[in-house]
């Protein structure tokens, strides 16, 4: 029970129905509940999110779905307010919501650039901004921002995604320094190639899969649960002396 008594908001966690392909957020929601946390799932996919929450409750966990567009300031204010009102506090925030569209610099439109920056960078900023006062009231806690190995390295097929995930990476360090005095730890997780509902279409293309597998020393894709385990560590008190750090979970890709 590593999160016993903790209240957490996890964004982009709608895909968490057992027996179906889970996203990183959905896997984290299950892991958090199993470790004793109350979980609030914030997502734009209301139907899927409510199904996940129903399954979490059937398992004996305490969970709540809240419709949330992470680019909306009012949306964030409402979800944080509802969480604190219903459960009395907020200890943990996981900024996980994301999008990913393949496009080189020349192929990237302004609209595509803005979409990536809004969901990833603006989403993490707004979530952190409005979570901080409640986490401070709770006596401190943990904010985990899900970046990517593409926030550290480049690739032949992405431009806006790299920029947005890089922004999340460095924003995390700024927030960590600014709120360490409040006992609020802020860290980033950098997943490598992971099979999720978002990545499955790309990985189903034989040439893409061949190229990806050729870059992974461990020779396989990550499971969402393996990324969620890293998020759990940073959310828990086991990482009480860790802030402003980058946890890379990538099968060795960035070691090359």
Q: Is 161 a catalytic residue?
A: yes
Mutual angle of helices 46-58 and 24-34, in 10-degree steps: 20
| Cβ atoms of residues 215 and 158 within 8 Å | no
* Across 115-139, average pLDDT: 98
Q: Classify residue 92 by burial, with Cβ atoms within 10 Å: 0-12, 13-18, 19+.
A: buried
> The CATH number of 7-255 is which of 3.40.50.720, 3.40.50.2000, 3.30.1330.10, 3.90.245.10?
3.40.50.720
- Residue 218 pLDDT greater than 90, yes or no: yes
**What CA–CA distance (Å, rounded) separates 61 from 63?**
6
Q: What percent of the chain clears pLDDT 70, i.e. is strictly above it?
A: 100
- Over range 33-51, report the average pLDDT: 98
- Of 161, 193, 233, 241, the active-site residue reads 161
Residue 95 — pLDDT band, cuts 50, 70, 90?
A: very high
How many whole angstroms separate alpha carbon 15 and alpha carbon 45? 9
Domain spans of the chain?
A: 7-255
Length of the chain: 256
pLDDT category of residue 157 using cuts at 50, 70 and 90: confident
Residue 179 has pLDDT above 90, yes or no: yes
Cβ atoms of 185 and 142 within 8 Å: the answer is yes
Mean pLDDT, the chain, whole residue set: 97
What confidence tier does 150 reach under pLDDT thresholds 50, 70, 90? Answer: very high
CB-based burial, 158-177: b 16+ in 10 Å, e otherwise: bbbbbbbbbbbbebbbebbe
Q: What is the pLDDT of residues 43-63, one digit of tens each?
A: 999 999 999 999 999 999 999
pLDDT at 202 over 90: no
């Amino acid at each position: 029970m590593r999160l016993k008594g903790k209240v957490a908001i996890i964004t982009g966690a709608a895909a968490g129905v057992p027996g179906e392909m889970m996203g990183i957020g959905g896997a984290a929601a299950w892991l958090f509940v199993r470790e004793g946390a109350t979980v609030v799932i914030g997502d734009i996919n209301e139907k899927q999110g409510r199904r996940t929450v129903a399954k979490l409750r059937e398992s004996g966990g305490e969970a709540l779905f809240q419709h949330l567009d992470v680019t909306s300031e009012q949306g964030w204010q409402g979800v944080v307010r509802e969480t604190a009102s219903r459960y009395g506090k907020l200890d943990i925030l996981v900024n996980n919501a994301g999008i990913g569209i393949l496009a080189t610099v020349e192929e990237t439109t302004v609209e595509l650039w803005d979409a990536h920056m809004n969901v990833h960078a603006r989403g993490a900023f707004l979530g952190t901004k409005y979570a901080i006062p409640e986490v401070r009231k709770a006596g401190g806690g943990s904010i985990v921002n899900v970046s990517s190995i593409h926030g550290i390295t480049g690739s032949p097929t992405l431009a806006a995604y790299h920029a947005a995930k890089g922004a999340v990476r460095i924003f995390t360090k700024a927030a960590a320094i600014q709120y360490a005095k409040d006992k609020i730890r802020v860290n980033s997780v950098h997943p490598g190639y992971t099979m999720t509902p978002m990545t499955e279409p790309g990985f189903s293309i034989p040439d893409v899969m061949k190229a990806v597998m050729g870059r992974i020393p461990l020779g396989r894709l990550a499971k969402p649960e393996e990324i969620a385990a890293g998020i759990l560590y940073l959310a828990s008190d086991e990482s009480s002396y860790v802030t402003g750090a980058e946890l890379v979970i990538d099968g060795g890709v960035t070691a090359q």
